[in-house]
C-alpha cells in the first residue's frame, strides 16, 4: 500500500511549466523548435572557457572544488559591484551584491524574503512563466497589469495600487521582455519609480537580456533611479556566457541582501564555485566590449532573419513585435481566433513548435491570441525554413 501524499498548499496546485509540454514535441528531430529560450549556442566562447577552466583546475583546484561562502566568490562580487556601479545599478552607500544560482534564484528568493502568503505581487501581463511559478510557489496573490508597447499601463497599475493595500512587489522585465520582446520607455521607468515611492512598494527589476541590445539606444535601468532602496536588480551570465553555469547575481539594499543570503544558505549553501571563478576570469581577461559586439551581431542577424521572413510569409492579419534585443518575438493572431488550435496544428501537422501565449498569463482567466517565437536557438536555416512553413499555416487559417 502506497501512502496518499498530502502536499503543502503552496505547491499542491503548482504545475510544471506549460512550455515543457511543448518541448516534448521538440525531441522529434523533424520538428523545428521556436519554443526554446536558450541563448545562441554558436555564441558561447567555448575555447576561452576551456582555457580558463584548465588553468583553474591545474593551478587552483581547491578553490574550484571546496566549499565556498554563500555570498559568492569575492573577486567576482567586487568586479560586478564595479561594473554595476558604472551602470548605476549598484550604490555602495545602500546596496550590496551577491551571486545567485541564476537570476531565477534571485527572483525566487526576493519573493520568499519579502512576501507572506496572500500578499500581492504585480506583474506585467503577460510575463515570464519561470518567475510567475516561483511567486506562485509561495502562495502569493499575483495581479497582472496590461503590458503596452512602451511598458506597463500606468493608469491600470495605479488603479490596482489604489484598491489593493497588500501590494509589496512590482515585478518587471524592462528590456526585451520575456515573452513579448518589448522594452519599457524611460518615461515609464521614471513614472513607475514615482509610484513606488507614492504607494510604498518594492520593484523587482529583472534584466537577463539587457546586454543583448542590438538596435536603438540603451535606456537606463529603474535601479539607476533608486535613492530610497526600493529596487532589487537581478542579472545573469546565462545569456552572455553560459546558462549551464547557473550563475546570476542580485544587487539590492543591504538589509534585503542579508535576508537573501540567509535564504540562499538554506537553499543551496552557495552556487557552483568553479563557474563563479570562470565568470570572474572571463570578464576580467576578455575585452568585454568586443565580446558584447560579437553577441549582438549574432542576435541582430538571427532576429532580422526571422522578422524578414515573417514580413514575407505571414498572413497580414498577424501582428508581431520588433524587438531591439533579447531572444523573443511576440505574434498575435486576430481577435477571437483559436490560438491554442493554431499552436497545436503548427507542431503536430507542420512540425513547428511555438509557445502558446497563455503559458505567460498571470491568471487562468486571461484570454490571449498571442504566441512566442524564439530566434536565438534555431540555426539560420531553421529560422528561414520554419518561418516560411509557419507563414503558410497563418495564411491558411487567417486569409
Residues in region 365-394 near its own copies by CB under 8 A: none
Question: Which one of 28, 54, 162, 381 is in contact with its own copies (CB under 8 A)?
Answer: 54
Looking at residues 271 to 310 of the shown chain, list those that interact with its own copies (rule: CB under 8 A). Answer: 271-275
**How distant, in Å, are the alpha carbons of 58, 97, 98, 323 from that of 73?**
19, 11, 9, 34
Question: Which one of 17, 85, 224, 379 is in contact with its own copies (CB under 8 A)?
Answer: 17
Closest distance of CB 333 from its own copies, Å: 28
Closest distance of CB 107 from its own copies, Å: 9
Question: Which one of 74, 116, 284, 319 is in contact with its own copies (CB under 8 A)?
Answer: 116
- Is there a contact between 205 and 251 (Cβ–Cβ < 8 Å)? no
CA–CA distance, 104 with 386 (Å, rounded to integer)? 30
Contact status: 361 vs its own copies (CB under 8 A)? no
**How distant, in Å, are the alpha carbons of 96, 109, 266, 357, 381 from that of 261?**
11, 9, 9, 34, 45
Q: Which stretch binds its own copies (CB under 8 A): 40-48, 185-193, 310-318, 352-360?
A: 40-48
Closest distance of CB 65 from its own copies, Å: 4
Question: Which one of 58, 289, 290, 399 is in contact with its own copies (CB under 8 A)?
Answer: 58
Output DSSP code: residue 316: T
Contact status: 364 vs its own copies (CB under 8 A)? no
**Total site size for its own copies, rule CB under 8 A:** 83
Which three three-digit cell numbers place residue 354? 511555438
Looking at residues 245 to 274 of the shown chain, list those that interact with its own copies (rule: CB under 8 A). Answer: 245-246, 253, 255-256, 258-259, 261-263, 265-274
- Is there a contact between 318 and 331 (Cβ–Cβ < 8 Å)? yes
Question: Which one of 28, 78, 117, 187 is in contact with its own copies (CB under 8 A)?
Answer: 117
Closer CB to its own copies, residue 9 or residue 155? 9
Q: Which stretch binds its own copies (CB under 8 A): 151-159, 236-244, 285-293, 335-343?
A: 236-244
User: DSSP characters for 139-177?
Assistant: T-EEEEEEEETTEE-HHHHHHHHHH-TTEEEEEE--SS-
Own/partner pairs, 193-198, CB within 8 angstroms, 24+ separation: 193/222, 193/225, 193/226, 193/230, 193/231, 195/154, 195/157, 195/158, 195/161, 196/170, 196/230, 196/231, 197/228, 197/230, 198/161
Question: Which one of 101, 180, 207, 358 is in contact with its own copies (CB under 8 A)?
Answer: 101
Closer CB to its own copies, residue 66 or residue 163? 66
CA–CA distance, 323 with 198 (Å, rounded to integer)? 31
Closest distance of CB 188 from its own copies, Å: 21
Closest distance of CB 263 from its own copies, Å: 6
Q: What are phi and psi of 45, to 5 degrees?
A: -80, 70
Contact status: 235 vs its own copies (CB under 8 A)? no
Closest distance of CB 140 from its own copies, Å: 10
- Is there a contact between 240 and 103 (Cβ–Cβ < 8 Å)? no
Instruction: Show the binding pattern over residues 119-158: x = contacts its own copies (CB under 8 A), - = does not.
Output: x----------x--xx-xx---------------------
- Is there a contact between 359 and 23 (Cβ–Cβ < 8 Å)? no
Looking at residues 169 to 228 of the shown chain, list those that interact with its own copies (rule: CB under 8 A). Answer: 200, 202, 228
Number of CB atoms found within 10 A of residue 158's CB? 15
Contact status: 113 vs its own copies (CB under 8 A)? yes
CA–CA distance, 233 with 96 (Å, rounded to integer)? 11
Closer CB to its own copies, residue 43 or residue 157? 43
Categorise residue 229: left if φ over 0, alpha if ψ from -120 to 50, beta otherwise. Answer: left
CA–CA distance, 293 with 274 (Å, rounded to integer)? 26
- Is there a contact between 257 and 80 (Cβ–Cβ < 8 Å)? no
Closest distance of CB 159 from its own copies, Å: 23
Q: Which stretch binds its own copies (CB under 8 A): 46-54, 145-153, 309-317, 323-331?
A: 46-54
Contact status: 50 vs its own copies (CB under 8 A)? yes
Amino acid at each position: 500500500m502506497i501512502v496518499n501524499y498530502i502536499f503543502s498548499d503552496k505547491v499542491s496546485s503548482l504545475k510544471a511549466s506549460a512550455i515543457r509540454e511543448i518541448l516534448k514535441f521538440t525531441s522529434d528531430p523533424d520538428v523545428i523548435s521556436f519554443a526554446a529560450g536558450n541563448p545562441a549556442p554558436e555564441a558561447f566562447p567555448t575555447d576561452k572557457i576551456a582555457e580558463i577552466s584548465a588553468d583553474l583546475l591545474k593551478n587552483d583546484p581547491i578553490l574550484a572544488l571546496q566549499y565556498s561562502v554563500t555570498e559568492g566568490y569575492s573577486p567576482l562580487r567586487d568586479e560586478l559591484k564595479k561594473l554595476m556601479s558604472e551602470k548605476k545599478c549598484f550604490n555602495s552607500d545602500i546596496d550590496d551584491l551577491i551571486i545567485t544560482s541564476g537570476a531565477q534564484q534571485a527572483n525566487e528568493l526576493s519573493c520568499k524574503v519579502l512576501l507572506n502568503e496572500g500578499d500581492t505581487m504585480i506583474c506585467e501581463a503577460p510575463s515570464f512563466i519561470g518567475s510567475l511559478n516561483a511567486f506562485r510557489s509561495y502562495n502569493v496573490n499575483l495581479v497582472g497589469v496590461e503590458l503596452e508597447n512602451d511598458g506597463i499601463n500606468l493608469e491600470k497599475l495605479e488603479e490596482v495600487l489604489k484598491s489593493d493595500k497588500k501590494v509589496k512587489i512590482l515585478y518587471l522585465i524592462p528590456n526585451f521582455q520575456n515573452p513579448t520582446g518589448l522594452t519599457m520607455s524611460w518615461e515609464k521607468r521614471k513614472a513607475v519609480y514615482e509610484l513606488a515611492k507614492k504607494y510604498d512598494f518594492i520593484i523587482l527589476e529583472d534584466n537577463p537580456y539587457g546586454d543583448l541590445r542590438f538596435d536603438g539606444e540603451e535606456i537606463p535601468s529603474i535601479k539607476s533611479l533608486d535613492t530610497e532602496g526600493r529596487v532589487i536588480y537581478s542579472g545573469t551570465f546565462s545569456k552572455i556566457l553560459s546558462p549551464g553555469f547557473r550563475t546570476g547575481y542580485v544587487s539590492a539594499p543591504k538589509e534585503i541582501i542579508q535576508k537573501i543570503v540567509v535564504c540562499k544558505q538554506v537553499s543551496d549553501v552557495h552556487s557552483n564555485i568553479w563557474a563563479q571563478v570562470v565568470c570572474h576570469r572571463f570578464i576580467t581577461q576578455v575585452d568585454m566590449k568586443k565580446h558584447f559586439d560579437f553577441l549582438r551581431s549574432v542576435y541582430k542577424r538571427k532576429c532580422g532573419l526571422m522578422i524578414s521572413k515573417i514580413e514575407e510569409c505571414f498572413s497580414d492579419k498577424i501582428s508581431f513585435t520588433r524587438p531591439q534585443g533579447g531572444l523573443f518575438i511576440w505574434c498575435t493572431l486576430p481577435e477571437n481566433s483559436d490560438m491554442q488550435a493554431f499552436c497545436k496544428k503548427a507542431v503536430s501537422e507542420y512540425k513547428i513548435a511555438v509557445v502558446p501565449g497563455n503559458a505567460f498569463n498571470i491568471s487562468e482567466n486571461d484570454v490571449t491570441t498571442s504566441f512566442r517565437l524564439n530566434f536565438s536557438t534555431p540555426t539560420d536555416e531553421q529560422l528561414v525554413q520554419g518561418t516560411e512553413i509557419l507563414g503558410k499555416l497563418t495564411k491558411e487559417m487567417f486569409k
